[in-house]
């Protein structure tokens, strides 16, 4: 079993819809959770990170962590065609050296 | 100018050939990483280095070697390429800081900045 599982999609939604991207993880020692966005032919870029459980909001993006169920989510409100990308979740143990990535979900926002 | 650059961007080679992928960064970061990305498998860590004298294996280091020539340069070599090493390869850098105030929410963050990737095909 992979430490971080993510539905690879693809996911296609109309412009303006609320998008929900989800991951599950198995390592209860993870304290940090990241969402990276990767456009086609580009490297991943950090979108948001959260520490432990709870929500974090940044503009149209909300990251949510539920440690009791080992579930992490990214919500995109008022989705735009420019949000079309692959979204990767990752977990990290505090003080550890590496990130553990999910497989990535490919998202397309249709105008 | 890009902060993390990778050369070449694309490479096609044959089985058994030696290949070197190069990464340079102008961010002044100490930490550098090499990942490979495969469809359905996500990003997997090959090697990482926290300074010029520190090299560590990641989860899939077999068949690969690295060299940290300087703080700004980190190379990945495939000594004898094989077809299942066909993948997208990414270099990343990070700069871990212990915060001045030991706020646990900030301690341990280690934002990684990725290069544009090298698409390697081994025939």
Which tens digit of pLDDT belongs to each residue from B63-95?
999 999 999 999 999 999 999 999 999 999 987
pLDDT tens track for A17-60: 999 999 999 999 998 899 999 999 899 999 988 888 888 999 99
Label residues B88-108 b or e (16+ Cβ within 10 Å = b). Answer: bbbbbbbeeeeeeeeeeeebb
Q: What is the distance between the alpha carbons of residues A100 and A13, in angstroms, rounded to a whole number? A: 27
A32 contact residues in B (CB cutoff 8 A): 108-109
pLDDT tens track for A70-102: 999 999 999 999 999 999 999 988 777 788 999
Specify the pLDDT at position B101: 46
Q: What is the distance between the alpha carbons of residues A83 and A21, in angstroms, rounded to a whole number? A: 12
Looking at per-residue confidence, does A73 or A8 come out higher?
A: A73
Q: Which residue is closest to B112 within chain A, CA to CA?
A: A46
* Confidence label for B2 from pLDDT (cuts 50, 70 and 90): low
Residue B77 near residue B18, CB atoms below 8 Å: yes
Mutation for testing the A interface, residue in B36, B43, B107, B118 having most A CBs under 10 Å: B43
CB contact under 8 A, A8 and B40: yes
Please name the residue that has the structure tokens 């560590």: B56
% pLDDT > 70, chain B: 86
Q: Is the pLDDT of residue B7 over 70?
A: yes
Nearest to A95 by CA among A24, A32, A25, A22: A32
Gap from A50 CA to chain B (nearest CA, Å) = 8
Specify the pLDDT at position B96: 66
Residue A109 near residue A36, CB atoms below 8 Å: no
List, as one string, the DSSP characters of B30-76. SEEEEEEEETTTEEEEEEEEEETTEEEE-TT-TT-EEEEEETTEEEE
CB contact under 8 A, B115 and A88: no
B110 contact residues in A (CB cutoff 8 A): 92, 99
Q: Which tokens go with B14?
A: 């044959």
């Amino acid at each position: 079993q992979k430490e971080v599982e993510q539905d690879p999609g693809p996911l296609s939604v109309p412009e303006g819809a609320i998008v929900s991207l989800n991951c599950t993880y198995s390592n209860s020692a993870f304290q940090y959770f990241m969402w990276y966005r990767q456009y086609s032919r580009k490297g991943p870029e950090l979108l948001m990170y959260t520490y432990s459980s709870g929500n974090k909001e940044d503009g149209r993006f909300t990251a949510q962590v539920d440690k009791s169920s080992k579930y992490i989510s990214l919500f995109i409100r008022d989705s735009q065609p420019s949000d079309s990308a692959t979204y990767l979740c990752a977990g990290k143990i505090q003080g550890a050296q590496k990130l553990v990535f999910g497989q990535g979900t490919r998202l397309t926002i249709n105008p | 100018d890009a902060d993390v650059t990778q050369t070449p961007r694309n490479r096609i080679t044959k089985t058994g050939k030696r290949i070197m992928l190069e990464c340079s960064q102008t961010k002044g970061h100490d930490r550098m990483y090499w990942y490979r990305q495969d469809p359905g498998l996500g990003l997997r860590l090959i090697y990482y280095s926290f300074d010029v004298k520190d090299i560590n294996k990641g989860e899939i280091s077999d068949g690969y070697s690295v060299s940290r020539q300087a703080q700004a340069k980190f190379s990945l070599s495939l000594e004898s390429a094989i077809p299942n090493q066909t993948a997208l390869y990414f270099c990343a850098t990070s700069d871990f800081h212990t915060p001045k105030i030991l706020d646990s929410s900030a301690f341990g963050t280690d934002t990684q900045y990725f290069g544009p990737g090298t698409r390697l095909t081994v025939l």
